[in-house]
Amino acid sequence: MLQAFFLLLIQEEWSFLHTVPVSWPKNYVVVEENDSYTLRCDPHTQNVKWLTPSDDCVNSSQNALELTDLENPCAGNYTCLTMDNILLKSVYLLIKENEDLKISCSLDSYSSPVLSCSVRVPFCRDCLVRAKANTSSVDDTNWLEMKFSDATKDSVLKFNLSLPMWCAFEEQIYPIVVTMEAITKSQYMSGSNSYYIRDIVVPGAPENVILNTDSNLGSWTYPSTWARHFSFFPLLFEVNIQFKNNKEIYELVYEMKKNMTNVKCMRVRCRDMYNNSMWSNWTTARSVSRAPRSPCKFK
């Protein structure tokens, strides 16, 4: 009965030799293409056998399995067994890609606990990806593991990473370090990037935009995602105004209102007032209550 169990386990191991792992391998090694590597089994067991994805790279097969001229067909799960089919060791071998992963992240507020990130994984048609964010040199957070499939040439993965407890009013001593790894059935790619929050904050668009022609006043409110208190985290607004004669102007505004006349349409965006952050998206264009014959079309 016990032997049948191990035979079933071996069959399961063998079934994943040429497919993407269902979860991140517990034991794996990453080697350079055309490099050599030696896999060692149990030093206390003399007679062993290996299950390998390919025999093309196997130079000698004893307790130590010598691999040479490693290429993608040689990547996969290497399993060491006793002659009685008892599992001794299992290692997943991956070929390292020369290109690094390019990671981009942003926050919608200084107090936001979630990083919005994206990464292009060039070789990813069917792959396993994991990512984590650390906020100091000593903390080590858990990996977020994701399965990703994409048939396009530029495979872009978007995901969110939770940050450990963060206080918006404290000075940021250490940067946030985002680390990523991606694997297919044969390839490995990694990358990392570090961020200071002041450099990646992108506010949400202003909300509750109103254009009141009776009072010649346009008004709006802070985005609901923005850090409180507003006096400590003030925003600068830019108003794009289109007049009835189709002339357009852009104007910076420090308040949440703007007096205007003969206006046809208006939209607003915002950014951090002091740290020169990136601008938010524009709000949806607001027209006068008696809609003009021609729709709002900003340049």
Residue 232's domain comprises 207-287
Domain count, the chain: 3
44 falls within a domain: yes
297 falls within a domain: no
- 3 state DSSP class of 56: coil
Tell me which of 48, 80, 96 is where a domain ends: 96
Domain identity same for 80 and 126: no
DSSP codes of every residue in 189-238: EEEEEEE-HHHHB-PPPPEEEEEETTTTEEEEE--TTSPSPTTTS-EEEE
Tell me which of 44, 72, 96 is where a domain ends: 96
- 3 state DSSP class of 13: helix
299 falls within a domain: no
Distance in angstroms (rounded) separating the CA atoms of residues 172 and 151:
40
295 falls within a domain: no
Domain identity same for 109 and 191: yes
Domain identity same for 68 and 32: yes
Domain identity same for 164 and 226: no
Backbone angles phi, psi at 14, to 5 degrees: -65, -35
Q: Are 103 and 80 in contact (CB under 8 A)?
A: no
Q: Give me the amino acid identity at 133.
A: A
The β-bridge relationship of strands 28-31 and 87-96 is parallel
Domain identity same for 145 and 229: no
Is 11 a residue whose pLDDT tops 50? no
Looking at 52-181, list the stretches that DSSP marks H as alpha helix, in order from N- to C-terminal side. none
Arithmetic mean of pLDDT, 131-146: 81
pLDDT band at 129 (very low <50, low <70, confident <90, very high): very high
How far, in whole angstroms, is CA 30 from its chain's centroid? 22
Structure tokens at 56: 């093309």
Domain identity same for 20 and 72: yes
296 falls within a domain: no
Domain identity same for 7 and 64: yes
Question: Percentage helix, strand, coil, to 5, in the chain?
Answer: 5, 45, 50
Arithmetic mean of pLDDT, 169-193: 88
Domain identity same for 166 and 243: no
Tell me which of 200, 224, 245 is where a domain ends: 200
Q: Give me the amino acid identity at 35.
A: D
Whole-prediction pTM:
0.76
298 falls within a domain: no
Q: Round to the nearest angstrom and report the end-to-end CA distance of the chain.
A: 75
pLDDT at 154: 62
Is 7 a residue whose pLDDT tops 50? no
Kindly report the CATH number assigned to the domain that includes residue 152: 2.60.40.10
Burial of 235 (0-12, 13-18, 19+ CB in 10 A): buried
Distance in angstroms (rounded) separating the CA atoms of residues 89 and 110:
47
Is 30 a residue whose pLDDT tops 90? yes
- 3 state DSSP class of 8: helix
Domain identity same for 170 and 131: yes
Question: What is the C-alpha radius of gyration for the chain, rounded to an integer number of angstroms?
Answer: 28
Domain identity same for 116 and 38: no
Arithmetic mean of pLDDT, 255-276: 92
Domain identity same for 7 and 37: yes
pLDDT band at 179 (very low <50, low <70, confident <90, very high): very high
Domain identity same for 233 and 249: yes
Arithmetic mean of pLDDT, 145-160: 78
Is 134 a residue whose pLDDT tops 80? yes
